[in-house]
């Protein structure tokens, strides 16, 4: 039996992944599976550029709005949920189309990725150190023990730093070595990357940040504070949210919050792009190609012809001529 087709649309933030995923789903008879670590949270809509119900164009979306901001989902838990959604789509003969810029999450879903175990005592000790010393100090320790892992983890991401140090202590080897090889668990997987020149991407990010603030981002964060955003261990670290929290605390003004959000997002986008570029299986397409959707469908059809996946009917309707996509995703 031919392998089922699984499509992933990847790339940096603000490249237009969400819109392309919807367009491809409409042509392939598919459904979108979210692979963005922060769009799982209810109420985090403006700051994560979550695609609206109208913009989904009737295409079902999975793994959006499934957690409260006080909850935490590990990569392993997200992997399980996403694979359940993918398998459900396949069982119903729907093409699952992953969309997201969380590179580790995409790889955890698509690749043969088995997570090392945990040790409650080691975890508790490292979390106590994080509380006492801060993430910067622990990141320096990680850099000394596993430089490659330190390059991939932001110095401010205390949760991931703790996990990396925990794995190093448990396994006796580098955390980076536990990352998966490029080997799909879904043989019919095809990855499409959106290629955006860096100066253009920076401009798109700046415009998106301005739209976020103009659309009521500050009010969104204020409302989420009443729902426990500060108490959550993950949600409040999302790009933009920590900056708006500082604004609401009177530590910075709105202009500074906008600029800091844009700066942090530009840095993150560079890291995303660097991570995805290491995966030679990704076919990169120009984000602004006037026939972007058609090009993407051609790559998918080629994958079918080469036997990577089952036969999928491609509907080359008028939408295949869709041009440059929105800065969302």
Domain positions in the chain: 6-113+181-321, 120-178
- pLDDT of the residue at 324: 35
Is 120-178 the same fold as 6-113+181-321?
A: no
Q: How far apart are CA 64 and CA 71, in angstroms?
A: 14
Surface-to-core class of residue 306, CB atoms within 10 Å of its CB (0-12 exposed, 13-18 middle, 19+ buried): exposed
Q: Is 329 annotated as a binding residue?
A: no
Locate 261 and state its tokens: 């959000």
Q: Is 234 annotated as a binding residue?
A: no
- pLDDT of the residue at 327: 47
CA-atom Rg of the chain in angstroms: 20
- pLDDT of the residue at 328: 56
Which among 1, 26, 38, 9 is positioned nearest to 191, based on CA atoms?
9
First and final CA of the chain: distance in angstroms? 34
Roughly what angle, to the nearest 10 degrees, separates helices 241-248 and 217-225?
A: 80
Tokens 């392939």 sit on residue: 28
Q: Is 13 annotated as a binding residue?
A: yes
Q: Is 324 annotated as a binding residue?
A: no
Q: Is 17 annotated as a binding residue?
A: yes
- pLDDT of the residue at 179: 66
Full pLDDT tens readout for the chain, 329 residues: 567 999 999 999 999 999 999 999 999 999 999 999 999 999 999 999 999 999 999 999 999 999 999 998 788 889 999 999 999 999 999 999 999 988 889 999 999 887 777 888 898 999 999 989 999 999 999 999 999 888 878 888 888 899 899 989 988 888 865 666 788 999 999 999 999 999 999 999 999 999 999 999 999 999 999 999 998 878 888 999 999 999 999 999 999 999 999 999 999 999 899 889 989 999 999 999 999 999 999 999 987 666 544 334 444 333 333 333 344 56
Q: Is 16 annotated as a binding residue?
A: yes
- pLDDT of the residue at 305: 62
Q: Is 269 annotated as a binding residue?
A: no
Q: Is 14 annotated as a binding residue?
A: yes
3-state SS track over the chain: CCCCCEEEEECCCCCCHHHHHHHHHHHHCEEEEECCCCCCECCCCCCCCCCCCCCCCCCCEECCCCECCCCCCCHHHHHHHHHHHHHHHHHCCCEEEEECCCHHHHHHHHECCCCCCCCHHHHHHHHHHHHHHCHHHHHHHHHHHCHHHHHHCCCCCHHHHHHHHHHHHHHCCCHHHHCCCCCECCCCEEEEEEECCHHHHHHHHHHHHHHHHHCCHHHHHHHHHCCCCCCCCCHHHCCCHHHHHHHHCCCCCHHHHHHHHHHHHHHHHHHHHHHHHCCCCCEEEECCCCCHHHHHHHHHHHHHHCCCCCCCCCCCCHHHHCCCCCCCC
pTM for this prediction: 0.80
* Beta-strand pair 30-34/95-99: parallel
Whether residue 291 contacts residue 321, with contact meaning beta carbons closer than 8 Å, is answered with yes
Q: Which CATH entry fits the domain spanning 120-178: 3.40.50.300, 1.10.20.140, 3.40.1350.10, 3.40.605.10?
A: 1.10.20.140
Task: Domain 6-113+181-321: give its CATH superfamily.
Answer: P-loop containing nucleotide triphosphate hydrolases (3.40.50.300)
């Amino acid at each position: 039996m031919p392998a089922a087709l699984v499509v992933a649309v990847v790339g940096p933030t603000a490249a237009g992944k969400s819109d392309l995923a919807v367009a491809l789903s409409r042509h392939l008879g598919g459904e979108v599976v979210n692979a963005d670590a922060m769009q799982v949270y209810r109420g985090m809509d403006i700051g994560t550029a979550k695609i609206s119900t109208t913009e989904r164009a009737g295409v079902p979306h999975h793994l959006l709005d499934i957690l409260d901001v006080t909850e935490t989902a590990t990569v392993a838990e997200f992997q399980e949920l996403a694979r359940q959604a993918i398998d459900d789509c396949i069982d119903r003969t729907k093409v699952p189309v992953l969309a997201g810029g969380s590179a580790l999450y995409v790889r955890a879903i698509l690749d043969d990725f088995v997570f090392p175990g945990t040790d409650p005592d080691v975890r508790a000790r490292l979390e106590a150190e994080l509380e006492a010393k801060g993430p910067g100090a622990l990141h320096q320790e990680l850099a000394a023990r596993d430089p490659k892992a330190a390059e991939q983890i932001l110095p401010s991401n205390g949760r991931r730093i703790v996990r990396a140090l925990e794995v190093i202590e448990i396994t006796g080897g580098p955390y980076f070595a536990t990352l998966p090889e490029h080997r799909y668990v879904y043989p019919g997987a095809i990855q499409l990357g959106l290629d955006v020149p860096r100066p253009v991407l920076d401009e798109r990010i700046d415009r998106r940040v301005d739209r976020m603030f103009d659309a009521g981002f500050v009010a969104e964060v204020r409302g989420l504070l009443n729902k426990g955003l500060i108490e959550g261990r993950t949600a409040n670290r999302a790009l933009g949210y920590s900056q708006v929290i500082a604004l609401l605390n009177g530590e910075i003004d709105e202009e500074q919050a906008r600029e800091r959000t844009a700066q942090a997002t530009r840095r993150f986008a560079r890291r995303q792009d660097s991570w995805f570029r290491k995966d030679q299986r990704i076919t990169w397409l120009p984000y602004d190609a006037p026939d972007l959707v058609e090009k993407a469908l051609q790559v998918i059809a080629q994958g079918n012809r080469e036997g990577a996946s089952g036969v999928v009917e491609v509907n080359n309707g008028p939408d295949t001529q869709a041009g440059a996509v929105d800065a969302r995703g």
